[in-house]
Amino acid sequence: MKYGSLILEKKEYVYLKRILNISGYAGDHETQKSLMKLSEELKTAIIVDAKEMPQDIIRFNSKVTVVFDNHLEKTVQVVIPMDKDMNKNKISILTPMGSALMGYSKDDTIEWEFPKGKQHIKIVEVTQEETFSGMDTVI
- Class of the CATH-defined domain 7-132: alpha beta
* Degrees to nearest 5, angle at CA 31 with 28 and 37: 140
Residues 23-28, mean pLDDT to the nearest whole number:
64
Q: Are 59 and 131 in contact (CB under 8 A)?
A: yes
What backbone torsions phi and psi does residue 67 show, to the nearest 5 degrees? -125, 130
Look at the pTM and tell me if it is higher than 0.85: yes
Beta bridge partners of 78: 91
Sequence ranges of the domains in the chain:
7-132
Q: Are 73 and 82 in contact (CB under 8 A)?
A: no
- Identify the band that residue 133 occupies on the pLDDT scale cut at 50, 70 and 90: low
pLDDT tens by residue, 84-128:
999 999 999 988 899 999 999 999 999 988 878 888 999 999 999
* Degrees to nearest 5, angle at CA 77 with 137 and 44: 70
pLDDT at 139: 42
pLDDT exceeds cutoff 80 at 33: yes
Q: What does the mean pLDDT of the chain come to? A: 88
* Degrees to nearest 5, angle at CA 24 with 122 and 45: 45
